[in-house]
Amino acid sequence: MTDKTFTNDIAISSRIRLARNIENTLFPQMASEADLTKVENAVTEALRSEKLAGEKYRFYEIRNMTETQRTSLAESRLISSELGKYDHSGAIINDSNSVSVMINEEDHIRIQSVKPGFDLFAAYRVADRIDDIIGESVNYAFSEKYGYLTSCPTNLGTGMRAGVMVHIPAIVMKNSLAGIISVAQSSGLEIRGAYGEGTAAMGDLFQISNRVSLGKSEIEIVQSIHEFTKEIIKTERAARNELLLLQEDDIKNEVQRAYGILTNAHMISTEEAMKLLSLLRLGTDVRLIENVSPKVVDKLMTEIQPATLTLRYRIRTDARSRDLLRAQHIKTALGDL
């Protein structure tokens, strides 16, 4: 068993984001329409398909998209919910959804690379390559002292935000999160709910990321998150073992009830579904549930989000009809196995 398969039950995905701006062009906040158009053209030109070694990319122009299409991309974490605030904003996204380049967000360019599981170094190699490709035809705003110059000083230096999404239900159940959050803070890192904030984080999914981007190299930042995530994985595994040892019947009961509701409910809200899917994910990880693949559960966590669900079924967008459809969708996904 390799280290990666051994950790992918807890680390769901690894993500790198690089913020870049074009030299001598006003940042989106102050830019004129002509500036924003120039940025849009420069980036789409820099990423013309022949430069991307056969990978297929699509350009999503925000002005040509509905609110639902936009929110759905944000729910899948391919764009930020802020994209679209400025004119001529958009995103260039590859077919496998592993690379996304946002144009005219808070900065001119935001490069994002995602890898499934615990693979931050691989995600960095991809983002670094895309950065080089764009950098061949665009001169970046850069200073010797502050590094890559960004609209917000919180992103100065490397312009990098690196993050690992972890599923840590046992740590949450044991109320150990507060301690971990303060340890993260003292190491220049932070942990936030991946869907919703604080302890109300849906689905026990959390994002571990760096707070500091200046004065450390990209590799040092990636390494510190890598090491910290390893500790979180160890802690979560220990917490799971302890729960199974001391409260096996209670955990089995919770997991099987979650499975029961998910496969039988007629209507279900996003919040309830996320809570139950988290329990089901735990159940598949510790082999209490054998007939459901963890990948199906992970996919469901995105698919049941309101805009993504609406888009898939093209329904009226009231909460009640979504709850009905969500229950049907989950039943089908779990029943098809």
Partner 1 sequence: MTCQICNTNPATIVVKKIINGEQTEMRLCEKCAKSQLAEVTSMFNFADLFGAFTPLNHNLNAMSKDHGEKNLICPTCNTDMEQLKKTGKVGCMKCYEVFGEYMEPYIKGIHTKTVHTGKVPKIAVAENENGENSSLREISRIKRQLEEAVREENYELAAEYRDLIHALSAKEESEID
> CB-wise, 196 or 317, nearer to partner 1?
196
Q: Is 223 in the site for partner 1 (CB under 8 A)?
A: yes
Q: Which stretch binds partner 1 (CB under 8 A): 37-45, 136-144, 281-289, 294-302?
A: 136-144
Neighbours of 257 (CB within 10 A): 12
d(CA 126, CA 303): 26
- 89 contacts 103 by C-beta, under 8 angstroms: yes
Least distance in angstroms from the C-beta of 213 to partner 1: 7
Q: Which stretch binds partner 1 (CB under 8 A): 38-46, 147-155, 290-298, 329-337?
A: 147-155
Using CB under 8 A, pick the residue from 135, 193, 252, 269 that binds partner 1: 135
Q: What residues contact residue 139 under an 8 Å CB cut-off, 6+ apart?
A: 22, 23
Q: Is 179 in the site for partner 1 (CB under 8 A)?
A: yes
Q: Is 239 in the site for partner 1 (CB under 8 A)?
A: yes
Strand ranges (E), 27-75: 57-61
Both tokens assigned to 34: 């002509």
Angle between helices 248-264 and 270-285 (to 10 degrees): 130
Q: What residues contact residue 263 under an 8 Å CB cut-off, 6+ apart?
A: 330, 331, 334, 335
Q: What residues contact residue 233 under an 8 Å CB cut-off, 6+ apart?
A: 7, 10, 11, 118, 166
Q: Is 214 in the site for partner 1 (CB under 8 A)?
A: yes
Q: Is 133 in the site for partner 1 (CB under 8 A)?
A: no
d(CA 179, CA 160): 26
Q: How many amino acids of this chain bind partner 1 (CB under 8 A)? A: 62
Q: Which stretch binds partner 1 (CB under 8 A): 55-63, 134-142, 302-310, 327-335?
A: 134-142
Beta bridge pairs of residue 58: 93
Using CB under 8 A, pick the residue from 5, 49, 66, 185 that binds partner 1: 185
User: 31 phi and psi, to 5 degrees?
Assistant: -70, 150
Least distance in angstroms from the C-beta of 153 to partner 1: 5
Least distance in angstroms from the C-beta of 177 to partner 1: 9
Cα-based distances in Å from 203 to 109, 125, 269: 31, 29, 13
> CB-wise, 98 or 284, nearer to partner 1?
98
d(CA 119, CA 117): 6
Binding mask 286-315 for partner 1 (x = CB under 8 A): ------------------------------
Q: Is 132 in the site for partner 1 (CB under 8 A)?
A: yes
Q: Is 59 in the site for partner 1 (CB under 8 A)?
A: no
> CB-wise, 131 or 323, nearer to partner 1?
131
Q: Is 9 in the site for partner 1 (CB under 8 A)?
A: no
The maximal CA–CA distance of the chain, rounded, in angstroms, is 65
Beta bridge pairs of residue 142: 148
Q: Which among 140, 120, 124, 114 is positioned nearest to 42, based on CA atoms? A: 140
Least distance in angstroms from the C-beta of 94 to partner 1: 19
> CB-wise, 217 or 253, nearer to partner 1?
217
What is the CA angle 198-330-326, rounded to 5? 70
Binding mask 91-110 for partner 1 (x = CB under 8 A): ---------------x----
Near partner 1 in 157-176, by CB under 8 A: 157-158, 160, 174-176
Q: Is 36 in the site for partner 1 (CB under 8 A)?
A: no
Both tokens assigned to 306: 């309101």
Binding site for partner 1 (CB under 8 A): 3, 21, 23-27, 29-30, 106, 121, 125, 128, 131-132, 135-136, 139-149, 151-154, 156-158, 160, 174-176, 178-180, 182-183, 185-186, 188, 211-219, 223, 226, 235, 238-239, 242
